[in-house]
Amino acid sequence: MAPIRFDKKIGACPYFLGACPYFLVRLSFQLDCDTLPGVETTAKRKRLYLSLSLAVALVLLVALLFLLAPRTIGPRYTIRRLVAPGFVSTQPQSINDLGEVIGWANNLNGGEGFFIWDRDGKATEIVLDVEGKPWFSKINNKGQALGEISSGTRTLYPFIWSASEGLRKPSFGANETARALDMNDRGELAGITWSASKIPHATLWNSNLEATLLTDATSSWAWQINNRGTAFCSAYDRSRFLARGSESIYLKRSEMRFSVEDMNDAELFVGTSYKGNPAGRIVSSSACVWSATRGMEFLEQLNGFETEGAAINNKGQVVGWTQPAQASPPPRWVETMLDAVSNLNLTGHDLEDLFRGGRESTAFFWEDGKMTPLIDLVEDPSEWISLVRAKDINEAGEIVGYGIHREVTTGFMAGFVLTPIKESDED
């Protein structure tokens, strides 16, 4: 008897082999039946045609089941629009682990207000009796909101606000100015204090808002502070370091050429790397994550668009947005600061207006090397035209941002909260 063998042509197709090895074996065996005496040609052909038909049918069935099978490309979310009474547009900026959201709202006549939304979406307006324009950027698990008061382009002073304690100012000298750029869940701040001679110094404030100036460099900035009290800082000489109490740990300059937007408790950073042309113009951006152990990892582009990283939680989940490459030039003042952008780390608030407007942007979710448009993870996105930007993500995976809602007047954004769907909820 001739040996049973795999036909070379058919066996060269790995997908066919993986789908129906039994039929391949049987087919090859029947093809060798020509060498066996007493087997009629007509019978052999019938068996051959039957085997081929069954094999093709099986392959088609497996392919159909694969296409129809639900595939998990990330967590699934429900979406809720954030509404502020008396206002058309809302733009949330931050969410804490309690599901409380801080952000602002505006309307057709240019009016503006600031709100905290609770987990159920109830909005409470924050009214401050201050001179100047307030701005809120973050809310922590104590319900404290970080903000600043400005006049024109000049920051007057930073503050922390809470419903129980009202507005509190961190300490700095009478002839000094300051900005607080980040806040952790303990109420500690990281920022900058400018001396009377206009020299910036990285500054940390404790929970009592008492200041400590870091003197590692003549000109320095403190950009981020995590819940362990570790602050990420940079200096005018392009050095970057972590401040842990009285200790400063310098990072490799060659590995940190990007603007840091957020840092988690494991000291995993997320931000954006910017590239310029010979004329000194910023022409592209790419979201990236970095740690001392893993080094730099650039997040994949989405549909060929540029990406900007905004926030990261302790699970390593990242949110941000994409935008078309080289759509319109950045402001003129930015063109002269390419080196500062890549080495001195502009804040997220500054970078938000750096490039193009948000109309063609797409919010994204990134985890374990996979980037997904955020709207593709929403269970029922029918009320939304697009999700433009994702601004923050908490430890529960809840995401805040804003997009274009079908019921909102053209030209205005609608805030949203995405809540992960638990497996028990899907059953």
Q: Divide the 427 residues of the chain into consecutive groups of 10 and give the mean pLDDT of each group.
A: 36 42 47 50 66 72 59 80 94 97 89 94 94 94 96 87 95 86 97 89 95 81 96 87 87 71 95 72 78 84 80 97 61 37 38 42 92 95 94 98 87 92 70
Give the pair of three-digit tokens for residue 56. Answer: 């093709």
Give the pair of three-digit tokens for residue 103. Answer: 């952000």
Tell me how far apart the alpha carbons of residues 25 and 8 are, in angstroms, rounded to a whole number: 12
Query: What secondary structure letter does DSSP report for 378?
Result: B
257 within 8 A of 343, measured Cβ to Cβ = yes
Rounded to two decimals, the pTM is 0.75
DSSP 19-81: H-HHHHHHHHHHHGGGGSTT--HHHHHHHHHHHHHHHHHHHHHHHHHHHHS---SS--EEEEE
Tell me how far apart the alpha carbons of residues 417 and 8 are, in angstroms, rounded to a whole number: 56
CA-to-CA separations, 177 to 182, 191, 205, 218, in angstroms, rounded: 16, 11, 14, 16
Give the pair of three-digit tokens for residue 281. Answer: 């113009």
CA-to-CA separations, 231 to 159, 234, 317, 400, in angstroms, rounded: 19, 10, 20, 24
Residue 424 contacts by C-beta under 8 Å, 6 or more apart in sequence?
none
140 within 8 A of 96, measured Cβ to Cβ = yes
> Residue 248: what pLDDT?
86
SS3 (DSSP) at 89: strand
List b or e across 395-414, with b for residues whose CB sees 16 or more CB atoms inside 10 angstroms. Answer: eebbbbbbbbbeebeeebbb
Residue 211 contacts by C-beta under 8 Å, 6 or more apart in sequence?
170, 171, 172, 178, 193, 203, 204, 205
Reported for 32-38, long-range contacts at CB under 8 A and 24+ positions apart, including other chains, are 32/2, 32/3, 32/4, 32/5, 35/2, 36/1, 36/2
> Residue 4: what pLDDT?
35
pLDDT digits (tens, 9 = 90+) for 189-216: 999 999 888 889 999 999 999 999 887 6
Tell me how far apart the alpha carbons of residues 92 and 401 are, in angstroms, rounded to a whole number: 6
224 within 8 A of 233, measured Cβ to Cβ = no
> Residue 399: what pLDDT?
98
Instruction: List residues bridging with 183 in a β-sheet.
Output: 189
SS3 (DSSP) at 17: helix
Query: What secondary structure letter does DSSP report for 237?
Result: T
> Residue 337: what pLDDT?
37
Instruction: Report the length, in residues, of the chain.
Output: 427
Tell me how far apart the alpha carbons of residues 360 and 375 are, in angstroms, rounded to a whole number: 14
> Residue 252: what pLDDT?
73
If residue 425 lies in a helix (H) or strand (E), which one and from where to where? Answer: helix 423-426
> Residue 245: what pLDDT?
81
Query: What secondary structure letter does DSSP report for 387?
Result: E
Amino acid at 62: V
345 within 8 A of 261, measured Cβ to Cβ = no
pLDDT digits (tens, 9 = 90+) for 272-282: 887 766 665 66
Tell me how far apart the alpha carbons of residues 125 and 280 are, in angstroms, rounded to a whole number: 43
Tell me how far apart the alpha carbons of residues 420 and 378 are, in angstroms, rounded to a whole number: 9
